[in-house]
Structure 1
Amino acid sequence: MNTEQCLTEYYKTKGFNIFKSAEYAQSNILNFVEFANRNILEAKKSNTSFLFSNVTKDIVEVNTEYYIIKEIHKKLLAMEWRDFEFLSSTILEFCFGAFDVKTSQASSDGGVDFEGKLPVYSTLAKDLYGIIEVYGQSKKYTGNVGIYDIKSFVAFANSKKRNYVHPAQLFMYFTTSDFANNSVKELAENGFIGLSGFQLATLIYKHKQILTDKSEIINEIIN
């Protein structure tokens, strides 16, 4: 698509809220190119999808996968909280290669909603040299996950420490929505992995071939 045409159509319809800041770029194509490419780069860093795959002053390439992933995210937001916990376990097992994956009891999860073990293999021989214990929390939210939610999870993580024993552990926080800025900082400072709803939707899309065979819940989301 011609870049100028793209901007003109956007200006007419204002169909994508994420591009409110691009209205200014209607009269300045270079500003729009910089804006779009910055967002493309940020999307790649966070392992998500973006509306455009490439933007120059002449041509805009639309990323058709974006609309599919956006629809998957929409279904994540609409699903039941318990289904989201089971989905989180499925993602841990089949997207990250964990084993002994469990979904906690709904009434007494004690701060963990799903857990499993990540194997540590040698590169070529695939010999097993150890495991990493994984503990995760999954929250179906509409608003951003706040700092107190993450601090509570950090407190849970601290409770998993064992006297005089230092098992390799990883803590993950999945949400259907997104994280507040201070929550992202808190996750990073503690070495936790936080995945937003759109990141999870992108992950599901990229692994759709195996996931549709392994999970009825994900099969419904993708199809």
Structure 2
Amino acid sequence: MKRSIGLMVVLLSIFMSCSFANELIKEAIEKFARENFGSEATIVSLQIRSFPSSFDKIQLTSHSRSKSFFSFLFKAYQEEKFCGYVRVECELAIFTDVLVANRTVRSNEVLSENDVTFQRVNLLTLNVEHCTDLNQVVGKIARRMFRQNEPLDARYLAKPPDVKAGQLLIAKVSIGSVFATAQVRAMRDAYVGEKISVRNVSSGVLIEGLLQEDLTVLVIGG
């Protein structure tokens, strides 16, 4: 009977020690997650790979990351004396709703509201500038292909050009104090404020100018 009671006390002591160690490690990783990823970061899973038999304090020494999976190395202390290392593997997450392609979207397609949908994902698994607002994607041109259910990347979305290749425009030519106009054809897509190459419809001469707000081309020096 006494032996059974003694065994129970030992087991209880080990259980309490492990519970304390788990809480200590969990608190340290939660602190790391908050400081590096904000208050919304959470622990999805946690595995303690190795640790000393007893410790009352830990200090983060190093960590490595592969997307949402992290490996941590802590120094462990017992009454302020170093007593070994704690090795932990865990997955962290920041869950949020992001816009993904509702179908396969090919490069140079213009996105409509029907082409996208919201999907809840772990942001730490992504390597994209994710989109959370329809205004970020609707009406934009895809600069690469997005597969169905793939999160949209704002780096590869662009507004449609203000002028398209082949479009007829009016060029305003300034030579000193003399101004003249000519009908020209855009040689490429362009946005307001950009330099654009255009070809004079009458003469076939290729010229370059600045695309203005009114979609005319300002040419300085003829």
Q: TM-score, normalised by structure 2?
A: 0.22
With a CA cutoff of 8 Å and minimum separation of 6, indicate the structure with the bigger relative contact order: 1
Query: Which of structures 1 and 2 has the bigger CA Rg?
Result: 2
Greater share of helix: 1
Greater share of strand: 2
